[in-house]
Amino acid sequence: MPSTFFGLNIAASGMNAYQVALNTTANNISNLRTAGYTRQQANRVASDALRVHAKYGSAGTGVTTVSITQVRNLYFDTKYWQNQSALGMYDTRLGHLQQIEDYFIDDASSKGFSTILNKMFNDLDTLKNHASDMNTRKQYIGSSQNLATYFNSIANGLSELQTSTNEEIKATVMNINAIAEKIAVLNDQINNIEVQGGYANELRDQRALLIDELSKIVPTEVEEVPVRNSNDPDRPTGAHYYTVKIGGQVLVNTEEYNTLECVAREEKVNQSDVEGLYDLKWSNTGNTFNAGGSSMSGSLKALFDIRDGNNGDNFSGDTKVVDANHIKVTNPSMTTVEELTLPESGILTINGREYAYEGFTFETDADGNITSYTFNLKESLTVQDQGRVDGRTAAVGTSVDSMGIPYYMAQMNQFLRSFAKAYNDIHHTGEDLNGNKTDDYAFFTGKDPVTGKEYLFDGKDANGQVGTGSAVDSYYKLTAFNICVSDVCQKDPNRLSTTTNTTGTGGVDAYDLVEKLALLKSDTILYRGGTADGFLKCMISDISIDTQESEIYQKNFQNIGKTIENQRASVSGVDEDEEALDLIKFQNAYNLSSKMISVMSEIYDRLILQTGV
């Protein structure tokens, strides 16, 4: 038979349980606007029944609060993290693409390519009627230099953007490492609390916030598995294995974590790249972390796409070993000097191995198309290496299916090389005002970044030998960084050629070359099947399509994110109306338990004080 005061114990258990419930509700309400807070609930179960050795067998003993836990849904968390990764990628990409787009603006607020090109050819048209006038010549040479300066400024701007994006990658990696360390520390603290029977709700909230932040940077997967007692597998210890993976690779394993490090490239991948671009490696293993891979997403991938994006057009071809120091690449992906983006020295990747080269030559067919390249290796190939290399596919850099800075640099170089070559070929056929031939210099040229010497594009190397490749003076050397009008013309406008024969019928005022040069604007195919004045349309088309696509996806994932966040909040968030209802519900339950004690008190009063013996 239970104690006479058994009822008081039952009522007291109710008061204690609903006091905990009220406190939990108060905690929820007080954290209504706390970022990352997850709604908590007090979990109650009926206390173990008491066997009373009576006919009814056993009696209930009240209620027990077994835990105060978070209310979360792993499905919504996972969907949120996946969407955050996609949103982070398009959000970051859009911001950087808009910066690139700004460089090609040509409107009333900013004089761009079309404005400058039109001015140059208008001045060329004026030159027809005043071919021997010194001021007209100076004006035309100045407008031509303005065109070159325009491309210099864009190249420098994109170069600065590539540098800042590279530094942003480094800062993002440091943030990933900091998040990994914090999660590992929180895992240790959470396990220390929960192994003793508690539940570390607030620490779990902090950890979930870190995962939210991480998921916007890189694709994030989380797995939490209970630690079982090896002697009694059915009995949990309270601790958990908590694993965080980024891009399918382990970043955090409970209390241990790995870090990423930025390793500066020793060689360029593209001719116009800045020095010291970072590749990512795992600090513990040295293995590469391919943040820009096609299966990746997040803001870190977007940064790599902007910094390294070549629209899938990197150098590649089939290898053939010439000798221990030379590798020949046939069926190349780049078949003209104008489109060539190879750095003068770099890394050939063949069969998963890297081979450094220091210069190359190439062979052309009757039409001038490049049929093969021969690379000069920095280190001789062993016999074993020759077997690994021969007949394989070689590549410089990787194919990045995104229009990033390298792509726009390559497009500018391709256009300028085609335009400068066509212009110089015409100019070389003429004579200056003094009757001298103008084939000893190029009107549109570039300057060697080391010596400052202007290129002649005569196809000769430093020893005066005619050849092809990275060592010779060819249009391969001309880039948006160094294009300029020759000092020969800038210092002496008389050297500008307008005619093929100054002693002929027209004399020094003849302008037959000017008419040929005028055709370069809109009557000569120079770039991507179009004319010179179509260059900007191609650039604007490329960047606009990419920007609009990013903007559409960014808005879509933003809307999807809001929907998922609302679904997530419906489970994990604190709702004012729901908490108000719980407050009344638990208050009434507490009052009833209190009333039960009052009733029991009257019963005991009657039993003890008013019942005679």
Alpha-carbon separation of residue 578 from 17, 31, 431, 566 (angstroms): 19, 14, 90, 15
* pLDDT grade for 54, boundaries at 50, 70 and 90: confident
**For residue 97, which of 328, 408, 391 has the smallest C-alpha distance?**
408
Instruction: Please check the confidence at residue 48 and state whether its pLDDT lies above 90.
Output: no
How many whole angstroms separate alpha carbon 593 and alpha carbon 550?
A: 60
Amino acid identity, residue 112?
G
pLDDT of residue 424: 96
Least confident of 152-161, 192-201, 226-235: 226-235
What are the CB-based long-range contacts (under 8 Å, 24+) for 377-386? 377/324, 377/325, 377/326, 377/327, 378/345, 379/355, 380/324, 380/325, 381/321, 381/324, 381/325, 381/327, 381/355, 382/324, 385/353, 385/355, 386/321, 386/324
295 vs 110, residue with greater confidence: 295
* pLDDT grade for 140, boundaries at 50, 70 and 90: very high
Span 238-267, pLDDT tens digits? 899 999 999 999 999 999 999 999 999 999
pLDDT of residue 480: 96
pLDDT of residue 233: 78
pLDDT of residue 61: 86
pTM, whole model, 2 decimals? Answer: 0.91
How many whole angstroms separate alpha carbon 31 and alpha carbon 573?
A: 10
Helices 299-308/201-217 angle, 10° precision: 20
Span 511-549, pLDDT tens digits? 899 999 999 998 888 888 888 888 888 888 889 889 999
Span 182-227, pLDDT tens digits? 999 999 999 999 998 889 999 999 999 999 999 999 999 999 999 9
Q: What is the rounded average pLDDT of the residues 47-71?
A: 84
Average predicted confidence (pLDDT) for the chain = 92
* pLDDT grade for 329, boundaries at 50, 70 and 90: very high
Q: How many CB atoms lie within 10 A of CB 599?
A: 12
Alpha-carbon separation of residue 343 from 212, 302, 411, 471, 479 (angstroms): 40, 24, 16, 11, 12
Span 433-449, pLDDT tens digits? 888 999 999 999 999 98
Q: How many CB atoms lie within 10 A of CB 233?
A: 8
How many whole angstroms separate alpha carbon 77 and alpha carbon 209?
A: 11
> What does DSSP assign to residue 508?
G
What are the CB-based long-range contacts (under 8 Å, 24+) for 95-98? 96/161, 96/165, 96/302, 96/303, 96/306, 97/306, 97/543, 97/546, 97/547, 97/550, 98/547
